[in-house]
Amino acid sequence: MTFRSVRFKQVDVFTLAPFKGNPLAVVFDADALDTAQMQAIARWTNLSETSFLLAPGDARADYRVRIFTTRGELPFAGHPTLGTAHALLESGYVPKTPGRLVQECGAGLVELAAREEGAWAFAAPPMRVTPLPAAQYDALRAALRSDAIDFDAAPCAVNNGAPWLVVRFASADAVLALAPDLQAFTAIAESMGAHGLAAYGPHAAGGPATFEVRCLMTGLGNGEDPVTGSANAAIAMLLEQQNLRPGTRYTVRQGTVMGRDGRITIDYDDEAHKVWIGGASLTVIDGTCRLP
């Protein structure tokens, strides 16, 4: 059998330390691959997401990306957005506009901007918000096995390309202690069109971050996600809608219970009406991949 080789990187996203963030496989020069081939590769890497770099179809974009979980394609996801940009830039790509990138994906065009110390941030894409009916609050409390849900911030299904049910808790400790009945929660999430739980709660003043976040997957089947850009974008924009945002910048820690130490920075640009989700990325594996 004849194979062709393409560049391949495995990137740890939202961290500066290997094995502490969320890994992403990046396959370069993927224009010749069809959907079935991309899905087969994503199943093989067995990571939460695998991204495929393609030539852009929109002249405004620097590149196009397709993002796959082990089960299906996503129109947008946060850590693949940052990880793919990191891999592309590390390979020598020069952006059309210095310090800026435009990614073309299933959700449309996503803008990225350079941050300090080599980190990048993406502008949170538009989202649809559907509040959870109050009649389901008791069922949610039972499914999550927690009396620490903060219902003053209404739980909401938020879809920005990846659909999450966002739930606020009274504290970071309550988030870390979560041990939900996933079968019961899945029924609630699916009734709202969501594929996972995005749980967040505040740390005490002087803590390691402003919020602790955990993301538990249901419909796409990857268990707990270590560090999640789309969910943090959803939380950030929901905080603004619910008049709960903690100033113009805050930080997130995620992945703690998995032995990770993901770090995310959220910046509100009120003048441009954008919310930026930022973090560092680090290449852990750099080489080539054989493709049929």
Active site residues per annotation = 49
Q: What is the dihedral of CA 52, 53, 54, 57, to 10 degrees?
A: 100
Contact, 50 vs 9, CB < 8 A? no
Q: Which residue has the tokens 């196009």?
A: 64
Residue 122: strand, helix, or coil: strand
Per-residue H/E/C for 153-218: CCCEEEECCCEEEEEEECCHHHHHCCCCCHHHHHHHHHHCCCCEEEEEEECCCCCCCCEEEEEEEC
Q: Which is nearest to 15 in space by CA: 164, 118, 125? A: 118
Residue 27: strand, helix, or coil: strand
Contact, 215 vs 228, CB < 8 A? yes
- What's the CA gap between 229 and 32, in Å, rounded? 28
- Around Cβ 94, how many Cβ atoms within 10 Å? 7
Q: What are the tokens at 208?
A: 């390691």
Contact, 235 vs 162, CB < 8 A? no
